[in-house]
Chain A
């Protein structure tokens, strides 16, 4: 039996390969490896996994490495939860955590919020870790140089019972974004441009590593947004190599190592970035300087277009199938072939979700909304209570209120998932900072245009998709 995480390929390795090798417990001859999980994160939806565990009469192997959050189903409005099914789900989560000794970031605590916002914020996510969660946007945590991916309910059960996961080594895809982003262009625009280029299955079977000067130049918040949407390109995970900016961002966070341990950790983390000459199975490059504010027009994130662009015409799609797919999306979205992006009108705006609800996102939206009034309903939801408090300390809540926005008192997934009461009504068109524009994602019949918080704020002010750049202070 192969063992010991020491088994390593010779020669230069990528960041992904290093983390993978560090976590191998068993390698099977067929290429499957059993990997150790350093952090297992769960949310209310994990009741399926806990139920299966209970049915099989199994227990949680390492509750000290499991952390729980209530985010998908909890309402963002003030007051107690009223939906009986949601009360039940949150109660089940509490019970499961109590029964198994798992730390829960519960509603009403001072540090709760969206799992992919809170875990990095609390220093639970660290470089070099293997982290899993029963949610596809677990790829977010790769921004800190952790290997992080989503798993289903059966794998959650497996992870709870064994603190391991079976994986086959993925192929590697390097996405190099060179140059420098221009003002008003954010991590969101970069990832939308990438998905637009490679497609919704462009990274299928691959772990993506983002490199290049434009990526280095992103803040950690920007990198979290970038890695969050790796799954929308079909990637198993997304990674940014940890650097000084990462360490600075993490230092002092609640669960981050302290003192001498911190020094040892950083010394180790400095060895993680891909070696010079490491081989990637595929490489794609983009010029960051050429990326414009980017939005989506259809019902797949791959339908990304620059704000200066025009919608496609099914008749010039290249193939009958592609033309049919474009027609169906235009029809669902209620849009006309060839129309300019800037003529798309908007009925409401949502700023929030695990993609774009961090303090930098809120500051960016505020810089656009300052001293202006929104033309359509605009909901803003901080990703965590800590972020909400920070925003309020900076006076952003008052600025949003003065602009006519709906600043929500509780954190959560909100209008991204359409399962907690925050919904886009059928037929309405929402400028949203979330990650998915699938049919009905924000509510049955809803129409979603994905964009950055700055672009969403601009759309809120004008009631149409609007290039935010002229609105920004010089």
Chain B
């Protein structure tokens, strides 16, 4: 996994609440094996007009979206289904950071595992970013995960808070199974206790 320390890149706004993971990647693409190319399914249906052509009004279809690595969205972004394909599609498109007032919980967990930062900012801050990006699509946002600061298109520096574990994982670009297996003895002890202290939890077919 590629570490994430600083990003300074064009940003785009998807100014709609409740953009669920079905919109980010429709279910029919989830049977595809994980290979690079998931960006082909990103926002597949909502970025197209009824006749199947690309809708020029959709932010990602515009020239200004070229090279965008930051996506700013409204509340409950990526709510709904647990499909990790939603993260694969964003990552394959080149996004490193998604900013919103709130995220689907599972999407946020999936993001960390794929080196994508799902950053929660206060509603008013996100509203200001959305408005700036709608006025200037593709304007640059800079983010420093080490320093926990963000510079908005209008040049303001905004400090942010992020889960220490998420920050550490992204900065290191770390595989957390390796980290977890450092606790192998404690895991085995817990599993043994499960069998001895709560034996009814062991599945036995009658």
Contacts and interface: CB of A to CB of B under 8 A. Distances in A.
Q: Do A and B bind each other?
A: yes
Interface of A: 1, 3-5, 23, 25-26, 28, 30-32, 34, 36, 38-39, 45, 47-48, 51-52, 56, 58, 62, 64-65, 67, 73, 85-86, 89, 124, 126, 128-129, 134-136, 149-155, 157-158, 161-164, 166, 168, 199-201, 204-205, 231-232, 234-236, 254-258, 261-262, 264-265, 268, 299-300, 302, 321, 325, 328, 417-419, 436, 438-441, 444
Contacts of B190: 5, 23, 25, 36
Interface stretch (B63-71, B72-80, B141-149, B151-159): B72-80
B20 interface: yes
B28 A154 contact: no
Given A73-B31, A126-B200, A26 B183 contact: yes
A268 B16 contact: no
Of B76, B105, B110, B168, chain A has the most CB atoms within 10 Å of the CB of B105
Most chain A CB within a 10 A radius of its CB, from B34, B46, B203: B203
Given A3-B186, A155-B110, A162-B180, 17 more contacts: A23-B190, A31-B165, A48-B33, A56-B177, A128-B198, A129-B201, A157-B177, A158-B177, A162-B177, A166-B176, A166-B180, A168-B165, A199-B76, A204-B103, A328-B16, A419-B31, A440-B45
A195 B183 CA distance: 39
Contact of A152 (B27, B106, B193, B204): B106
Contact of B18 (A51, A168, A300): A300
Measured as residues with beta carbon below 8 angstroms from the partner, the interface class of chain B is 35 or more
Interface of B: 15-18, 20, 22-23, 26-28, 30-31, 33-34, 45-46, 74-76, 79-84, 87, 102-107, 109-110, 113-114, 163-165, 168, 176-177, 180-181, 183, 186-187, 189-191, 193-194, 198-206
A38 B82 CA distance: 20
B165 A85 contact: no
A27 B51 CA distance: 53
A134 B82 contact: yes
A195 to B, nearest CB: 11
Contact of B206 (A65, A126, A231, A254): A254
Which interface residue of A89, A166, A235 has the most chain B CB atoms within 10 A?
Answer: A166
A45 B82 CA distance: 11
Nearest 6 interchain pairs by C-beta: A154-B113, A152-B110, A30-B164, A257-B200, A265-B200, A201-B76
